[in-house]
Structure 1
């Protein structure tokens, strides 16, 4: 439908109505036909607006949490690297301290060997062994030297051979080489001979 304006030009009245309809609120348009339905549509529009707002807030919170999580993960990775580096430094220092004490024991042995051949070095070697044992004790290392007649412990003793003996069968006769344990963990089994009985 065309209408003529005051200056003689024609306009599209239907087009104007369509534009007006597009800009008119949906609820108002529905209310023109059915007031109850228009009210329901208005309520639904309000709910949609609320939900869209809540969704936007939730997405913003999720983005914020994801950003915080990434920062925490990066912080944790950095912490692990620092902790590992500290652990390596502590280990190096601990080893350095231990080696320093061993070197002093070695120096004592060298001095004992530097004595004249006719000098009895037994006292010096025994003193050095005592020093060495103290170093091991400081490191929580204790010898495994089972007495004769002790039951064989496969976790702490390595059987080298079985021999006839007055000791009960299956017990230690002699220690061929002592073992060692550190903080309760066996680091070297004692090598022993075991009785076969008489």
Structure 2
């Protein structure tokens, strides 16, 4: 209803105040209306309780799923490392193998390990010589005089690793000293 359409209402007065006779009470109509309203209240209360229970159940299911995700988060990674472990155990099981065979097996196992790491979004940080030093991905062990621009990587002492975009371990590097 628009405010322009509203008509001012007269203040409520009892029938006795305005001189009119009191109307007869309609007990049957009021009782029916009360029963109807009580039924509506019961219906709304039931709907409220059901909605509240559904929210609680959804919250409980979400908490259980988060707990499972935390508990088994490493499952995929561990599963991808099992072939690497199997290869290492097979190498140990053949003590009389020739050095060439062992070296070939080590290279194959390393390829398996690299593939498992890549599947799990683990990548290496191995900066080339001359790359600008990045303190977010590199850890400088020492500064050495070099024939290259200052604050650039001279050598990598140990590769670093990333999981997705997060540094798991920074690369240990030597950095060129300012001239």
What's the TM-score once normalised by structure 1's chain length?
0.64
Q: Write the distance in 1 (CA, Å) between the matches of 2:121 and 2:88.
A: 20
Q: Write the distance in 2 (CA, Å) between the matches of 1:102 and 1:124.
A: 11
Kindly name which structure, 1 or 2, has the bigger radius of gyration based on alpha carbons: 1
Give the aligned partner of residue 168 of structure 2.
187
Deviation at 1:65, TM superposition (A): 2.6
Name the count of aligned residue pairs.
164
Deviation at 1:166, TM superposition (A): 1.0
Q: 1:169 to 1:136 in 2, by over 3 A?
A: same
Deviation at 1:100, TM superposition (A): 1.3
Q: Write the distance in 2 (CA, Å) between the matches of 1:145 and 1:57.
A: 73
* Structure 1 residues without counterparts, runs of 5 or longer: 1-29
The structure 1 residue matched to 2:20, chosen from 9, 33, 36, is 36
Q: Write the distance in 2 (CA, Å) between the matches of 1:124 and 1:96.
A: 21
The structure 1 residue matched to 2:122, chosen from 129, 133, 141, is 141
Deviation at 1:146, TM superposition (A): 0.3
Q: Write the distance in 1 (CA, Å) between the matches of 2:93 and 2:148.
A: 43
Give the aligned partner of residue 106 of structure 2.
125
RMSD: 3.7
Give the aligned partner of residue 43 of structure 2.
61
* Structure 2 residues without counterparts, runs of 5 or longer: 1-14
Normalized per residue, the structure richer in helix is 1
Contact 1:175 1:192 in 2 (8 A): yes
SS in 1 for 2:22: helix
Deviation at 1:35, TM superposition (A): 7.6
What's the TM-score once normalised by structure 2's chain length?
0.69
Q: 1:69 to 1:85 in 2, by over 3 A?
A: same
Alignment of 1:20-99 (within 5 A): 36-39=20-23, 42=25, 52=34, 55-84=37-66, 86-87=68-69, 90-91=72-73, 93-99=75-81
Q: Write the distance in 2 (CA, Å) between the matches of 1:173 and 1:108.
A: 39
Give the aligned partner of residue 164 of structure 1.
145
Deviation at 1:148, TM superposition (A): 0.8
Give the aligned partner of residue 3 of structure 2.
none
Alignment of 1:105-120 (within 5 A): 105-107=87-89, 110=92, 114-115=95-96, 119-120=99-100
